[in-house]
Homo-oligomer: A and B are copies of this chain.
Amino acid sequence: MTTGDAGTTNGHARAPFARRGERQRKAGPGDTRRHNRALVLQTMFRHGPLSRADLARATNLTRVTTSDLATELLAEGLIEELGTRVDQGVGKPATLLGVVPDARLTVALDLSDGERFRAALVDLGGKVLDRRTAERGGRTGAAAADLAADLAADLAGTADRPLLGVGVGSPGVVDPAGTVLEAPNLGWHDLDLPGRVAAAVDVPVHVGNDANVAALGELGLAGAAERSLLAIKIGQGVGAGLVLDGHLVLGDRFAAGEIGHVVVDPGGEPCACGRTGCLETAIAAPRLRRRGPAARTAAGRRLGEALAPVVSTLNLREVVLSGPLDVLDETFRSAALAAIRDRTMPAVGDHVDIRFSSLGEDDVLLGAAMLVLDRELGVA
């Protein structure tokens, strides 16, 4: 069933844009083509309908090449002709090309909630077409993995259009191939989640850390102008996802973004991890609820204090907060922002902004969908 290609996620050919932890890859004959194809597609995703000549100007490719790529994409149904542009001035009217949002669908899974797995059928534009949830009921290990796989298969069955793939946002540490190295809450250790899910649905499967994919989603679907951002996800715990220049930062042990147990207040409250004053003890959702609104300012400042060195080191411009709306209020946000500004040099701090996620509760779900778009189409 599976091919002999070692390292392949599942029975399919390796995903076109799946970047592994390889030191550096060779460039083959088809690589330029793939790159340019993705470039054209991405340009249309971002700028909306464009003519072939527009694409050539935007990408620095020739009209011949964009035209050729366009016919390829047209044949695959990924884009369509939208008629001629009106009100153009002199010259032959341009025929506009646009992405067909429902040319392909993705199945997105959000496993970050402790109680239930959430899943959705998402189109290329990030629109949710259908939803499912499955109560976890305390399942762990293989049972939990099977539950996720069944959920994916269930939704995949309802798809009336070709599936691009399945994207999964999982808690814990996930390696570039999608193996969940460590997810204590789900009892997963070195679990080949992509393999298990792919056995249930016959399309490419991509798995990433929940906060990481949320960051990807925020970048791709929330109209973020920048190509870099830090997404902070507050829930039972606290996690972060970092995208720099369009690329997810995974880190040495693929544990980048695991900031929940950074100590921000050595004399603070005890944490489940055995230490005291971890960031989670200051700003995890349950703690924020328990302490009430009055403590929001102090909590926000704690976050800002932890982020200040990060923002300075990376010269970040954009930080996005996501989590339950009852605890994430403007007081919290502005306190965090103020703390960052107080603690970084103005040249950096003046340009930082913190905003709430525009994807809301669906951040991980849409991020998982975005992961598929990134890996399969190169759109990020």
CB <8 Å contact, B314 and A256:
yes
Output the nearest chain B residue to A66 by Cβ-Cβ distance. B26
Q: A34 vs B312: C-alpha distance in the bound complex, in angstroms?
A: 34
Output the nearest chain B residue to A345 by Cβ-Cβ distance. B261
A253 neighbours in B (Cβ, 8 Å)? 315, 317, 347-348, 351
Interface-lining segment among A77-85, A199-207, A302-310: A302-310
Q: A254 vs B253: C-alpha distance in the bound complex, in angstroms?
A: 27
A26 neighbours in B (Cβ, 8 Å)? 35-36, 39, 59-61
A27-B35, A36-B26, A345-B258 known; A230 and B263 CB under 8 Å?
no
> Is the C-beta of A113 less than 8 angstroms from some C-beta in chain B?
no
CB <8 Å contact, A345 and B273:
yes
A182 neighbours in B (Cβ, 8 Å)? 347
- How far is the CB of A318 from the nearest CB of chain B, in Å? 8
> Is the C-beta of A147 less than 8 angstroms from some C-beta in chain B?
no
Q: A342 vs B31: C-alpha distance in the bound complex, in angstroms?
A: 45
Among A159-177, those with CB < 8 Å from B are 173
Q: A244 vs B249: C-alpha distance in the bound complex, in angstroms?
A: 8
> Is the C-beta of A223 less than 8 angstroms from some C-beta in chain B?
no
CB <8 Å contact, A315 and B258:
yes
> Is the C-beta of A262 less than 8 angstroms from some C-beta in chain B?
yes
Q: A70 vs B351: C-alpha distance in the bound complex, in angstroms?
A: 48
CB <8 Å contact, A347 and B309:
no
CB <8 Å contact, B343 and A263:
yes
Q: A347 vs B258: C-alpha distance in the bound complex, in angstroms?
A: 9
Residue from A26, A173, A228, A263 having most chain B Cβ neighbours under 10 A: A26
Output the nearest chain B residue to A343 by Cβ-Cβ distance. B263
Partner of A310, one of B39, B42, B310: B310
Output the nearest chain B residue to A38 by Cβ-Cβ distance. B24
List 15 additional contacts besides A257-B315, A262-B345, A309-B310; criterion CB under 8 Å: A240-B313, A242-B314, A251-B314, A253-B315, A253-B317, A255-B347, A256-B315, A257-B313, A258-B312, A258-B345, A261-B312, A263-B342, A273-B345, A306-B309, A307-B309
Instruction: In the A-B complex, list the 5 residue pairs whose CB atoms are closest, starting with the nearest.
Output: A251-B315, A261-B345, A252-B317, A27-B32, A263-B343
- Some 10 contacts from A to B, beta carbons below 8 A apart, are A23-B227, A24-B42, A26-B61, A182-B347, A255-B315, A258-B315, A258-B347, A259-B309, A309-B310, A310-B310
